[in-house]
């Protein structure tokens, strides 16, 4: 049986290849939100030397481009992108907000 990887596994693998992060967390937060989708809300925490000297918007654009196709299936993607120094100063990523979207009736 050839089971395809979950979206969470897929996102993790792609980020590892593209950014060689020193710290990476890909959290599936779909259960915290309304609606039936099980792989629709994700939170990324990425610490990478790739982000050195890149503005926050440039980091997010890079990830948006990396997941251009996947974003057609994902409802929400929270991105927390840090350099090693920023990560050390922050000590962690902020908590995710509650979903404001409701299920479609």
Confidence of residue 52 (pLDDT cuts 50, 70, 90): very high
Does residue 71 sit within a domain?
A: yes
Q: What is the pLDDT of residues 78-99, one digit of tens each?
A: 999 999 999 999 888 877 766 5
Instruction: Provide the pLDDT for residue 103.
Output: 44
Encode the chain in three state secondary structure: CCCCCCHHHHHHHHHHHHHCCCEEEEEECHHHCCCCCCCCEEEEEEECHHHCCCCHHHHHHHHHHHCCCHHHCCCEEEEEEECHHHHHHHCCCCCCCCCCCCCCC
- Residue 55 sits in which domain range? 10-90
User: What's the predicted TM-score (pTM) here?
Assistant: 0.82
Does residue 1 sit within a domain?
A: no
Does residue 95 sit within a domain?
A: no
Does residue 105 sit within a domain?
A: no
């Amino acid at each position: 049986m050839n089971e395809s990887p979950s979206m969470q596994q897929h996102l993790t693998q792609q980020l590892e290849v593209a950014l060689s992060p020193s710290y990476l967390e890909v959290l599936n937060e779909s259960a915290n939100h309304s609606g039936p989708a099980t792989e629709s809300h994700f939170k990324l925490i990425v610490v990478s030397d790739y982000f050195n000297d890149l503005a926050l918007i440039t980091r997010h654009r890079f990830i948006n481009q990396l997941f251009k196709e996947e974003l057609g299936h994902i409802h929400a993607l929270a991105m927390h992108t840090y350099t090693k120094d920023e990560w050390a100063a922050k000590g962690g990523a902020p908590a995710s907000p509650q979903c404001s979207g409701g299920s479609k009736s």
